[in-house]
Chain A
């Protein structure tokens, strides 16, 4: 048994068909529990009031926006090194989901920022870095859409994902240098002093688990769709040649 077995599309389809209902169910349960718990059964915070509750959407979405790009980087590398098509298709499938998480992070941040900072948008380092990340997602998706040959597209987008990762990382630290921020520090760092208090922390972790599972669910569904559409293309080509 090796993990590369799942690079076989047939094996991937079988396994993902088996896993999908479980992952979907778990994602639903975790998100329901986390969000309901967070929204209705936690006290209002001293300084924030009820607005603190948007944290249960904002933080998990922001984390997943970065995680999705990391996953695309890894799958792109696997495609470049081992030429497994499923890997390239998974990267393609993850991009729009990652973009949506980025947009959710930005929008919930704006909604939260309005009552707290008195402005929808500020050129704060974290906000700016996220906007740049959204632009990277857009470029990546546009490149996939623009190149006709699927293998060429997979190669080019993989190279872009690698170079883009480096520059997204650089931008993250460049904007820190460029402007001081309004955004608070880490909410969940391993350093306990910085953390939000336990009352908020537990439902937040459940929400994050829910968002991770939601991401896995969506990526599985979209990758399966991509594989099916690739099979369809192959069938159509064969028919035309016959």
Chain B
């Protein structure tokens, strides 16, 4: 499992792996939105939590098809399937690698982009905490979507259609945490619900994703 994790990380970081693309996209979202809605600080402060969460979600979406597609094409997914490692474990490790490459940089970069969007000061810790809690769910849900569409020629667009509705609860609670945090309100309820979604998704979705991959490899 550890070997697989390091292999995925190396593949992602080296040339052509697309490392940093998601981050660049996140930055672009944060730049484009003020250009679209105007530079008034009050407006930006109000929409900043939502924009940051939507941006993180879209950046995650961007790199999802890399989780399985390349391995499916060159046959290493078949090797993984015949290896002693259960497919559920392989899915979980690949989602973890995706999170380390995409989700974690987003968490770290988010406060900087918060400055760009004039996020109110009390919102920053909650922005980082909610993204740190929520992006693993985005990765594992995305891995499930990628597993469903891995056998398809042009699965990317279809995958967005499948994955985005699944992202909605995570987005709602994540953005709510930041919104309440920025307004100085108590955040315990949405934070607990966000954590619950992440925990539930991490516990159950590897099985669904592994089932989908087995069907696609048949």
Q: Which residues of A contact B (CB under 8 A)?
A: 132, 135-136, 138-139, 142-143, 146-147, 152, 155-156, 159-160, 162-164, 166-168, 170-171, 174-175, 177-178
Q: Given A138-B161, A162-B208, are A147 and B152 neighbors across the interface (CB < 8 Å)?
A: yes
Asked if B211 and A159 make an inter-chain contact with CB atoms under 8 angstroms apart, the answer reads yes
Asked if B212 and A156 make an inter-chain contact with CB atoms under 8 angstroms apart, the answer reads yes
Chain B: residues with Cβ within 8 Å of the partner, total of 29
Q: Which residues of B contact A (CB under 8 A)?
A: 144, 148-149, 151-152, 155, 158, 161-162, 164-166, 168-169, 172-173, 176, 189-190, 193, 197, 204-205, 208, 211-212, 215-216, 218
Report the nearest B residue to A170, measured CB to CB: B169
Say which residue of B149, B168, B216 sits within 8 Å of A174 (CB atoms).
B168
Contacts of B212 in A (CB 8 A): 155-156, 159
Asked if A143 and B148 make an inter-chain contact with CB atoms under 8 angstroms apart, the answer reads yes
Say which residue of B155, B158, B165, B216 sits within 8 Å of A136 (CB atoms).
B165
Say which residue of A132, A142, A147, A156 sits within 8 Å of B161 (CB atoms).
A142
Asked if A177 and B176 make an inter-chain contact with CB atoms under 8 angstroms apart, the answer reads yes
Contacts of B216 in A (CB 8 A): 152, 156
Once bound together, how far apart are the Cα atoms of A142 and B189, in whole Å?
A: 35
Contacts of B193 in A (CB 8 A): 174, 177
Contacts of A170 in B (CB 8 A): 169, 197
Say which residue of A155, A156, A175 sits within 8 Å of B172 (CB atoms).
A175
Contacts of A164 in B (CB 8 A): 165-166
